[in-house]
Chain A
Amino acid sequence: MLASTTRSVSRLARSSRTFATVVDSAGVKVAAVDYGQPTSAVTFLVKGGSRFETKPGVAHALKNFAFKSTGKRSALGTVRESELYGGVLSSTLSREHLALTAEFLRGDEEFFVDVLSSFITSAKYTRHEFEEFVLPSLEADSLAAQADPLTRALELAHTLAFRSGLGSSLFASPHAHLTHQDIQSYASSIFTKGNLAVLGTGIDQATLSKLVEKSLASLSASGAAPSTTPSSYFGGESRLENAHGPQTVFIGFGATGVPSAELAALSAHLSSTPSVKWSQGTSPVSAGIPEDASVQTVLLPYSDAALFGLIVQGATPEAVKEAAKVAVKALKEAAAPGGIKNEDFGKAVSKAKFQAASAIDSRDGLFSVLGAKVLAGSQASVDSTLTALDKLTPSAFSKTSSTLLKAKPTFVAVGDANALPFPDEVGL
């Protein structure tokens, strides 16, 4: 039965959605795919996430500056005209990339590519827009992030794990002294042709290439590409008082280098998300945890490092402590040589493969998973990930897991800091 599942997964992989070709259109990488959806989406993916920022919070500020006035139209004009076309404009920031996205009905691509590219080429970054629109939105974003224990835990975990670079926060601190000139100079350093990829769905590759070639002609071909030092993993422990939301503990381990298939399998093995709704699931974690606590696995892969971790949440610190003990025990068992049964290993690999393949089913997943590959110039498909998972052996799996666990753990407790467990209390 397992064999047939594996076969069907790889069949899925072969027919999976993927950018057919990547065309270099006047120095900009353009990739598009069309399945005949009723709507189109175009994303300008820029290598300029928070790890590249020159001043803390400037990437976040640039994200919130998107679609403000440009040489072609004012902020109000952009909004009103997009509304007339019925399109949706959005900007998202990750640690590696800044993405500007427009979703619209088929046939309106000329206008929306122009909106996106005019922000890239001729945004004005005016002081009054920064003070009247961008600063309040930065503050609101940061406040919302502060109120969410999970976001706080992950932000702090990144800082402890990677310190600078990947460690810099996605959110501008409320005390950041940013000016519109900071944002302008950051934008001019990352908005270059070599640093940009244009991705489209529901749009013809040739049409998109032509539009991009026309609208981005004035963009400088190269410049000082944003630089960052290679990530290294440090680890550490921190505790934060948080009055709202569930009690949260993050137990993480980092690895440098390109994220390996072993980590994906480990994450899938420990993931307590059941395959059947309302059931308990068969993961080694899900059986032992108290009812009012939950354990999720997170694997955050970056270009040169990965952070793997367990998020333990619960209503009370005691429940979190119990659940964290169970989760750490399961993690250590999985990492011990021969600690994982062949059957469990096969299950984990299948689950990991399904996750990798289904991630690119949605438009967001397609853009975030394959966009990075398009930008890096590597093959834009998940085939290599799936092949790597196919080739995985139990011994390689436990070897990687035990090396991972040898490093200093990243331990973050957010909530009732007096009662939440310390690392040694959960068996780390």
Chain B
Amino acid sequence: MFGPLGYSLAPTVRSSRTLHKYLKPVADWYANLAGYRKMGLKYDDLLVEENDEVEKAISRLPAREQYDRAFRFKVASQCSVQHGPLPKEKWLPASEDKRYLKPYVQEAIAEAEERAAWDTMEVSRK
């Protein structure tokens, strides 16, 4: 429940057209308010990475994605040093805020679950 990809109502919201219509502006407003885009970060950069599955997922990113991720962190820490966000033209546009890490984390979690299942299985005679 408190994992890197905790429970989310997003799929339910997205499946209903009315809910989506009313909640999307609120969600966009909230995402901008959170301020990570002003630091040039993506949402998946905020995933807690002190965790086996996320570490594994990060190690499985393509080389280019890993480089970009490290670069965004450098930019963000420079912003922190300067006590201010990036100039507005350098903010991360909402269109680029993709869940680039999520599929890898999901795969790593599925693998860990499968391993746990095999480790604790009971063999029964047919």
Q: Does B60 lie within 8 Å of A77, measured CB to CB?
A: no
Q: Does B90 contact A (CB under 8 A)?
A: no
Interface string of B54-72 (1 = CB under 8 A from A): 0000001010000000000
Residues of B within 8 A of A127 (CB): 60, 62
**Residue from the list B60, B115, B123 in contact with A76, Cβ < 8 A:** B115
Tell me which residues across on chain A come within 8 A of B114, comparing CB atoms: 74, 76-77
Our pick among A77, A84, A128 for the contact of B123 (Cβ within 8 Å) is A84
B49: CB under 8 A from chain A?
Answer: no
- Is B28 in contact with chain A by the CB < 8 A criterion? no
Prevailing SS type, chain A contact patch: helix
B111 within 8 A of A: yes
Contacts of B62 in A (CB 8 A): 127
Nearest Cβ distance between residue A276 and chain B, in whole angstroms? Answer: 50
Chain A residues within an 8 Å CB radius of B123 = 84
- Scan residues 90-126 of chain B and give those whose CB is less than 8 A from a CB of chain A: 111, 114-115, 118, 123
On chain B, the residues within 8 Å of A363 by CB distance are none
- One digit per residue, 1 when the CB lies within 8 angstroms of any chain B CB and 0 when it does not, for chain A 233-247 equals 000000000000000
Q: Considering only CB atoms, which chain A residue lies closest to B119 in the complex? A: A80
Pairwise interchain contact A128-B60, C-beta atoms closer than 8 A: yes
Interface size class on chain B is: under 10
In angstroms, how far is the closest chain B Cβ from the Cβ of A135? Answer: 13
Whose C-beta in chain B lies nearest to the C-beta of A129? B60
Q: Which residue of A lies closest to B62 (CB)?
A: A127
1/0 per residue, CB under 8 A from B, across A111-130: the answer is: 00000000000000001100
Q: Which of B111, B114, B118 has the most CB of A within 10 A?
A: B118
| A residues 78-94 touching B (CB-CB < 8 Å) | 80, 84
Q: Which residues of A from 315 to 340 have beta carbons under 8 Å from B?
A: none
Which residues of chain A from 222 to 242 have a CB within 8 Å of any chain B CB? Answer: none
Check A80–B118 contact: CB distance below 8 A. Answer: yes
**Cβ of B124 to closest chain A Cβ, rounded Å:** 11
Query: Which of chain A's residues has its CB closest to B60's CB?
Result: A128
Q: CA of A223 to CA of B23 in the docked complex: distance in angstroms? A: 52
In Å, the complex CA distance between A131 and B66 comes to 15
Please give the distance in Å from B23's CB to the nearest CB on chain A.
Answer: 35
Q: For B115, what are the chain A residues with a Cβ–Cβ distance below 8 Å?
A: 76
Closest chain-B Cβ to A132's Cβ sits at a distance in Å of: 8
CA distance A128 to B63 in the complex (A): 12
User: Which A residues from 39 to 75 make CB contacts under 8 A with B?
Assistant: 74
Q: How many angstroms from the CA of A80 to the CA of B114 in the assembled complex? A: 11
| B102 CB, min distance to chain A CBs, angstroms | 15
Instruction: Enumerate chain B interface residues (CB-CB to A < 8 A).
Output: 60, 62, 111, 114-115, 118, 123
Inter-chain pairs besides A74-B111, A127-B60, 12 sampled, C-beta below 8 Å: A74-B114, A76-B111, A76-B114, A76-B115, A76-B118, A77-B114, A77-B118, A80-B118, A84-B123, A127-B62, A128-B60, A131-B60
14 A–B contacts, CB within 8 A, in A order = A74-B111, A74-B114, A76-B111, A76-B114, A76-B115, A76-B118, A77-B114, A77-B118, A80-B118, A84-B123, A127-B60, A127-B62, A128-B60, A131-B60
